Chain A
Amino acid sequence: MERNKTKEQTSKEKATPKKQESQTGQRQAEAPMEHTAQSMEVNGLNAYYGGFKAITDIGMKIAPNKVTALIGPSGCGKSTFIRTLNRMHEVARGGRVEGEVLLDGEDIYGKNVDPVQVRRKIGMVFQKPNPFPTMTIYDNVVAGLKLQKRHKKGELDDIVEGSLRQSALWDEVKNKLNDSGMSLSGGQQQRLCIARTLAVEPEVILLDEPASALDPMSTMKIEDAMLELKKRYTIVIVTHNMQQASRASDYTGFFFIEDMGEPGQLWEFAETEKIFTRPERKETEDYVTGRFG
Chain B
Amino acid sequence: MAAGQLESGATASDRRRKLMDKFMTGVAYFFTFIAIAVLVWVIAYVIIRGISVWSPAFFTENTALFGDGGGIYNAMYGTFVIVLMAIAIGVPMGIMAGIYLAEFGDNRLGDFVRFIADTMAGIPSIAVGLFMYGLLILIMGWNAFAGACALAILMLPVVARTTEGIIRLVPGEIREASLALGLPQWKTMLRVVLPTAAAGIITGAFLAVARAAGETAPLIFTILGSNFFNSNPMEGAMAAVSLYVYQASSSPYQAVQEAGWGAALVLLLFVLGLNFIARAIAFTQKQN
State the A residues within 8 Å of B (CB): 86, 88, 91, 116-120, 123-124, 126, 128, 130-134, 143-144, 147-148, 180, 182, 193, 196-197, 200
- Verify A91–B176 contact, CB threshold 8 A: yes
- Given known A-B contacts A134-B196, A182-B288, A147 and B176 have beta carbons under 8 A apart: no
CB distance from B36 to the nearest CB of A (A): 34
**Interchain CB contact under 8 A, B195 and A134:** yes
For A86, the chain B residues whose CB sits under 8 A away are 180
Does B171 belong to the interface (CB within 8 Å)? yes
B179 within 8 A of A: yes
How far does the alpha carbon of A119 sit from the alpha carbon of B188 in the complex, in Å?
Answer: 14
Distance of B225 from chain A, by nearest CB (Å): 44
Q: Which of B171, B176, B177, B180 has the most CB of A within 10 A?
A: B180
B173 at the interface (CB under 8 A from A): yes
In whole angstroms, how far apart are the Cα atoms of A116 and B180 in the complex?
A: 8
Are B181 and A144 in contact, CB atoms less than 8 angstroms apart? yes
Residues of chain B in range 159-203 having any CB-CB distance to chain A below 8 Å = 171, 173-174, 176-184, 187, 191-192, 195-196, 198
Binding site of B, secondary structure by majority: helix, strand, loop or mixed? Answer: helix
Q: Which 8 A-B pairs give the minimum distances between C-beta atoms?
A: A120-B182, A144-B181, A130-B173, A119-B182, A124-B180, A130-B177, A134-B195, A147-B191
**Closest chain A CB from B271 CB (angstroms):** 29
Q: Which residue of chain B lies nearest to A143 when distances are taken between CB atoms in the complex?
A: B181
Taking a contact as CB atoms under 8 Å apart, the answer to whether B183 and A144 are in contact is yes
Q: Please indicate the chain B residues that have their CB under 8 angstroms from the CB of A131 in the complex.
A: 177
Docked-complex contact A119 and B174, CB < 8 angstroms: no
| Shortest Cβ gap from A121 to chain B (Å) | 8
A196 contact set on B, CB distance < 8 A? 177, 181
Looking at chain A's contact residues, the main secondary structure is mixed
B232 CB → nearest A CB, Å = 41
Can you identify 5 A-B contacts, CB atoms within 8 angstroms?
A: A88-B176, A118-B182, A133-B196, A144-B182, A148-B182
Closest to A146 in B: B191
Are B182 and A132 in contact, CB atoms less than 8 angstroms apart?
no
Distance in Å: Cβ of B56 to nearest Cβ of chain A: 44
Q: Which residue of A lies closest to B174 (CB)?
A: A130
Residue from B176, B181, B288 having most chain A Cβ neighbours under 10 A:
B181
Distance in angstroms between the alpha carbons of A182 and B286 in the assembled complex: 11
CB-CB under 8 A for A91 and B179, given A132-B174, A133-B174: yes
Residues in B neighbouring A193, C-beta threshold 8 A:
177
CB distance from B41 to the nearest CB of A (A): 41
A245 CA to B198 CA in the complex, in Å? 41
Which A-chain residue is minimally distant from B181 (CB atoms)? A144
Is the Cβ of B183 less than 8 Å from the Cβ of A116? yes
Q: How far in angstroms is the closest Cβ of chain B from A140?
A: 10
Q: Are A119 and B180 in contact (CB under 8 A)?
A: yes
- Return chain B residues, CB-CB under 8 Å to A148: 182-183
Q: Contact check, B181 vs A130: say whether CB atoms are below 8 A apart.
A: no
